[in-house]
């Protein structure tokens, strides 16, 4: 590792040394010596020493069950501490001297000026800046919240150490605190005892806002405003909210029977309760600070002549906030009613704050108005009264089921059996009708009643509480019209945006046709609202057709939808359902945005932040602020310096790659009868159910096979055995077919001139740095039946061919040569991850013949540790 990473290496070493001291104190020097021996063997093995590798395997296989758990826990903790050091390094002084772009926005504005983009055009784009980050609870965050809190405190300690100028006793005190935190983590159970409920997941999302984003967002908005003022002479508008947050936690009921209408209402109540709690703290701080007596007439009147008018009006506001907080707490805890439901709209807070602001500015106290008061106003704009708006998601079949039961009750036949034209005619007629559709005495099935109850919850709340309604597996225009009708029948008084989610390859290809049918219909246009949202599914399309084919289908669908919407005069917002891993559309945010079709960011960015990526991007305030700056700069660049449209020939090349890669991917995954038994033996897919990750079941159909497995555990399982199959399967065949027909030079030209194609290749480079053939072979050798082992051998041969081809197409003829930080990051964790992989094999082997509670616990810890080592697992 080069000198620019010396500080990172030093911090990893310091934290590892402290963990070693903890292990020795807890279990004795002999336990530490065994762990250290294994670590050294793993490091030597990773360097290519075959003898060390055999010794490592032999050492690990000889461990007793109790020793297995010790070693597994040690390496899991090592990886978590390495991640703490790495995350801190990204925002540390030493890190900024290495790989970080110090001010991505300034760099973007400089590029815009150098490209002769007019200042008024830049200002218009900034005025339209709208970044909506959607926090989801997909089950890949394996680290418990109590451990995350300790890791955040460790990061704070590293920051204090780097600031320097500490007296010897101060440094000793800081080191003692770090050892305490590491000891606390060691003596804490890494694995949850129970699966989190949807409400637990929502609370986790709110905790991220409270612990990090609440501080980061005002700082980000201030810095954004200052940079724009310095560079362009004009800052953000006073009502600007360049970033806002939405959540799926407690609203995503697709395949999750635990997300009910009552859970959704409870999550809404908890969100407002927690927001009020945070605003009360802010108001208390303002009361302590705003002791001034001079004010304007309006504030004097509001304060009823009080000598300290600012404090007087803020105390009035605090009283209303407190009463509402008490009301919600009683409702949440199902206690006797108390308090009053007074604060129901964010303007009830901002009106008071703005009155204080105007008065301060009118009395030459602008410097005071620009302090804590401004921060609280920024929070009101960006977080609202819910902290995050709540999206609702449901499968299209559930809506059809409701309508099918209804039409049968009415003697009209089964809606589900009608053709698309018949469905649309019925839905449009009912949308235009002024009479109710739902009979008073009709009793639907329990499932359908739950769907209807969800629509009632929407209707009983305010529009500001919600984001959009997403329809999973949307295939026809009727899927969208059905939701509009059910919202209308529930008595919803606001026009909730409805977004079809196009997930499979066929659905993506048909997306423009479906939207054309909606846009051309007068009834739908009356219900459309100001924006049309369309969600692009990265996960299921990649699971359906492979990463290369899915990527081109996503690009083509977005390109066609942008063009269609512009022709129809509709403001389209594309919602990107990306995951953290490459197999689910994951890529560095800025890189991914720059590779999208021109015009796709015109009306803002809406993107999911999933699983453990929420913690890695937003878990620390300083990291969160940096992530927000990267998003803002990438969106501005995407709008003002859009990537070039692909040449016609390049489209032909991508069509060839897509067809060939998809054919091979599906032939392997769907058509080969050996695939399923191989998959289930070579990965811990079946054992994943024991790991209490998220509230949602891992399968849509509990009795189904691989086809019913969700995209996330599908990816997670393959990352555990280091084959990383879904992220690259079919790429070699696709690229090879294109080279045969168009020549390698054409692909190299595409890589140089087309960000979309370059990003595909870079994503593969990252995957190949994480994949490991010898570990995959080790899984096969000990877990796969002899008659199936040839299947794994063939896949690893294909992996080797794919790596060689990608290196050939890379400008540096190596993997991640232009992204040394990512490569070094992976290398940093490998010596800690390798032993966990070998141990997982041994544990799977033992657990599959003679399972026990101790083995299951150790196995779950290996899953958590490998996930920490792989980072973007979901």
The answer to whether the CB of 350 falls within 8 A of the CB of 358 is no
Secondary structure letter of residue 175 according to DSSP: H
Q: What is the mean pLDDT of residues 532-561?
A: 93
Q: Is residue 142 predicted with pLDDT exceeding 70?
A: no
Which pLDDT tens digit goes with each residue over 613-639? 787 788 888 889 999 999 999 899 999
Which pLDDT tens digit goes with each residue over 466-512? 999 999 999 999 999 999 999 999 999 999 999 999 999 999 999 99
pLDDT at residue 699, rounded to an integer:
54
pLDDT at residue 850, rounded to an integer:
86
The answer to whether the CB of 327 falls within 8 A of the CB of 339 is yes
Q: Is residue 590 predicted with pLDDT exceeding 60?
A: yes
Is 690 part of the annotated catalytic residue set?
Answer: no
Q: In which residue ranges of the chain is CATH 3.20.20 found?
A: 392-620+628-639
Q: Locate the DSSP E strands across 293-444.
A: 389-395
Q: Parallel, antiparallel, or unpaired for β 605-610 and 131-136?
A: parallel
pLDDT at residue 241, rounded to an integer:
94
Q: What are phi and psi of 284, to 5 degrees?
A: -60, -40
pLDDT at residue 873, rounded to an integer:
42
Both tokens assigned to 589: 């945010």
Q: How confident is the model at residue 583 (pLDDT cuts 50, 70, 90)?
A: very low
The answer to whether the CB of 728 falls within 8 A of the CB of 764 is yes
More confident residue, 715 or 702: 715
Q: Is residue 810 predicted with pLDDT exceeding 70?
A: yes
pLDDT at residue 249, rounded to an integer:
93
Residues ≥6 apart with Cβ < 8 Å to 28? none
pLDDT at residue 140, rounded to an integer:
43
Q: What is the mean pLDDT of residues 579-593?
A: 54
The top-scoring range by mean pLDDT among 317-331, 528-542, 806-820 is: 317-331
Q: Is residue 585 predicted with pLDDT exceeding 90?
A: no
Q: What is the mean pLDDT of residues 277-283?
A: 98
pLDDT at residue 149, rounded to an integer:
83
d(CA 374, CA 833): 46
Q: How confident is the model at residue 99 (pLDDT cuts 50, 70, 90)?
A: very low
pLDDT at residue 205, rounded to an integer:
87
Query: pTM (2 decimals)?
Result: 0.91
d(CA 788, CA 795): 12
CATH code of the domain made up of 392-620+628-639: 3.20.20
Residues 848-861 as b/e (b if ≥16 CB within 10 A, e otherwise) read eeeeeebbbbbbbb
The one catalytic residue among 270, 331, 484, 543: 543
The top-scoring range by mean pLDDT among 122-131, 452-461, 579-588, 685-694 is: 452-461
d(CA 635, CA 631): 6
pLDDT at residue 824, rounded to an integer:
79
Which pLDDT tens digit goes with each residue over 856-872? 888 988 988 898 888 75
pLDDT at residue 609, rounded to an integer:
87
pLDDT at residue 704, rounded to an integer:
52
Q: What are phi and psi of 393, to 5 degrees?
A: -130, 135
d(CA 406, CA 423): 13
Q: How confident is the model at residue 194 (pLDDT cuts 50, 70, 90)?
A: confident
Which pLDDT tens digit goes with each residue over 730-742? 999 999 999 999 9
Residue carrying structure tokens 């945070």: 278
d(CA 41, CA 46): 8
Q: Is residue 684 predicted with pLDDT exceeding 90?
A: yes
Q: Is residue 100 predicted with pLDDT exceeding 70?
A: no
pLDDT at residue 400, rounded to an integer:
98
The answer to whether the CB of 387 falls within 8 A of the CB of 275 is yes
Q: What are phi and psi of 371, to 5 degrees?
A: -95, -125
Both tokens assigned to 142: 């394996």
Q: How confident is the model at residue 710 (pLDDT cuts 50, 70, 90)?
A: low
Which pLDDT tens digit goes with each residue over 17-58? 999 999 999 999 999 999 999 999 999 998 889 999 999 999
Q: What is the mean pLDDT of residues 57-79?
A: 90
DSSP H helical ranges for 363-476:
366-368, 374-383, 396-409, 420-432, 446-460
Q: What is the mean pLDDT of residues 757-785?
A: 94
Least-confidence region, from 16-25, 202-211, 751-760 = 202-211
The one catalytic residue among 34, 89, 138, 399: 138
Is 543 part of the annotated catalytic residue set?
Answer: yes
d(CA 570, CA 564): 9
Which pLDDT tens digit goes with each residue over 316-370? 999 999 999 999 999 999 999 999 999 999 999 999 999 999 999 999 999 999 9
């Amino acid at each position: 590792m080069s000198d620019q990473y010396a500080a990172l290496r030093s911090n990893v070493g310091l934290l590892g040394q402290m963990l070693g001291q903890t292990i020795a104190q807890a279990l004795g020097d002999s336990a530490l010596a065994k762990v250290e021996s294994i670590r050294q063997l793993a490091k030597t093995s990773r360097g290519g020493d075959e003898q060390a590798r055999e010794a490592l395997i032999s050492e690990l296989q000889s461990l007793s069950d109790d020793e297995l758990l010790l070693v597994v826990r040690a390496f899991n903790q090592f990886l978590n501490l390495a991640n703490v050091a790495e995350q801190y390094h990204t925002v540390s002084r030493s890190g900024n001297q290495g790989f970080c772009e110090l001010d991505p926005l300034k760099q973007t504005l400089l590029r815009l000026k150098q490209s002769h983009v007019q200042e008024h055009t830049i200002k218009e784009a900034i005025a339209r800046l709208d970044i909506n980050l959607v926090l989801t609870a997909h089950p890949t965050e394996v680290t418990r919240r109590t451990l995350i809190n300790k890791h955040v405190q460790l990061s704070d300690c590293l920051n204090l150490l780097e600031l320097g100028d500490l007296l010897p006793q101060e440094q000793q005190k800081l080191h003692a605190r770090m050892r305490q935190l590491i000891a606390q983590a060691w003596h804490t159970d890494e694995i949850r005892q129970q699966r989190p409920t949807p409400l637990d997941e929502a609370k986790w999302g709110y905790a991220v806002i409270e612990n990090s984003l609440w501080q980061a967002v005002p700082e980000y908005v201030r810095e954004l405003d200052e940079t724009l003022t310095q560079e362009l002479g004009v800052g953000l508008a006073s009502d600007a909210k360049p970033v806002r947050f939405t959540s799926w936690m407690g609203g995503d009921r697709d395949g999750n029977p635990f997300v009910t209408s009552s859970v959704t209402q409870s999550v809404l109540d908890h969100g407002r309760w927690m927001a009020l709690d945070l605003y009360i703290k802010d108001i208390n701080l303002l009361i302590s600070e705003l002791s001034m007596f001079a004010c304007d007439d309006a504030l004097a009147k509001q304060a009823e002549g009080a000598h300290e008018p600012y404090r007087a009006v803020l105390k009035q506001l605090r009283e209303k906030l407190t009463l509402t907080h008490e009301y919600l707490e009683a409702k949440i805890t199902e206690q006797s009613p108390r308090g009053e439901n007074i604060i129901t709209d964010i303007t009830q807070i901002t009106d008071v704050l703005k009155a204080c602001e105007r008065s301060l500015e009118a009395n030459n106290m602008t410097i005071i108005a620009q302090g804590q008061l401004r921060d609280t106003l920024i929070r009101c704009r960006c977080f609202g009264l819910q902290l995050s708006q709540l999206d609702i998601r449901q499968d299209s079949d559930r809506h059809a089921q409701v309508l099918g039961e209804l039409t049968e009750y009415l003697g009209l036949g089964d809606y589900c059996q009608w053709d698309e034209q018949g469905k649309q005619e019925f839905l449009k007629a009912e949308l235009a009708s002024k009479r109710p559709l739902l009979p008073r005495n009709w009793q639907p099935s329990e499932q359908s009643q739950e769907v209807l109850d969800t629509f009632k919850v929407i209707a009983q709340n305010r529009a500001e509480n919600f984001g959009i309604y997403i329809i999973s597996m949307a295939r026809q225009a009727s899927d969208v019209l059905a939701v509009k009708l059910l919202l209308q029948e529930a008595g919803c008084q606001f026009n909730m945006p409805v977004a079809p989610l196009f997930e499979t390859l066929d659905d993506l290809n048909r997306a423009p046709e479906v939207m054309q049918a909606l846009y051309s219909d007068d009834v739908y246009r009356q219900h459309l609202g100001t924006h049309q949202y369309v969600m692009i599914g990265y996960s299921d399309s990649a699971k359906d057709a492979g990463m290369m084919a899915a990527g081109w289908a996503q690009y083509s669908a977005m390109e066609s939808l942008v063009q269609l919407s512009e022709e129809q005069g509709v403001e389209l917002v594309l919602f990107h359902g990306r995951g953290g891993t490459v197999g689910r559309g994951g890529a560095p945010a800025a890189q991914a945005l720059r590779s999208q079709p021109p015009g796709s960011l015109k009306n803002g960015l809406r993107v999911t932040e999933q699983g453990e990526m929420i913690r890695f991007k937003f878990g620390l305030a300083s990291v969160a602020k940096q992530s927000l700056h990267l998003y803002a700069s990438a969106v501005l660049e995407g709008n003002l310096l859009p990537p070039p449209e692909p040449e016609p020939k390049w489209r032909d090349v991508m069509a060839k790659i897509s067809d060939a890669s998809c054919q091979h991917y599906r032939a392997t995954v769907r058509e080969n009868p050996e695939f399923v038994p191989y998959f289930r033996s070579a990965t811990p897919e079946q054992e994943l159910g024991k790991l209490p990750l998220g509230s949602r079941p891992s399968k849509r159909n509990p009795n189904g096979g691989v086809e019913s497995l969700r995209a996330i555990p599908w990816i997670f399982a393959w990352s555990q055995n280091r084959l990383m199959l879904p992220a690259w399967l079919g790429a070699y065949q696709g690229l090879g077919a294109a080279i045969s027909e168009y020549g390698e030079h054409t692909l190299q030209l595409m890589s140089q001139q087309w960000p979309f194609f370059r990003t595909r290749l870079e994503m593969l480079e990252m995957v190949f740095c994480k994949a490991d053939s010898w570990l995959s072979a080790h899984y096969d050798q000990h877990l796969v039946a002899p008659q199936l082992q040839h299947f794994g051998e063939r896949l690893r041969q294909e992996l080797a061919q794919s790596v060689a081809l990608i290196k050939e197409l890379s400008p540096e003829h190596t993997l991640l040569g232009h992204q040394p930080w990512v490569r070094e990051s992976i290398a940093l964790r490998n010596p800690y991850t390798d032993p966990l992989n070998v141990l997982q094999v041994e544990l799977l082997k033992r657990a599959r013949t003679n399972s026990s509670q101790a083995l299951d616990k150790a196995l779950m810890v290996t899953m958590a540790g490998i996930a920490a080592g792989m980072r973007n697992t979901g």
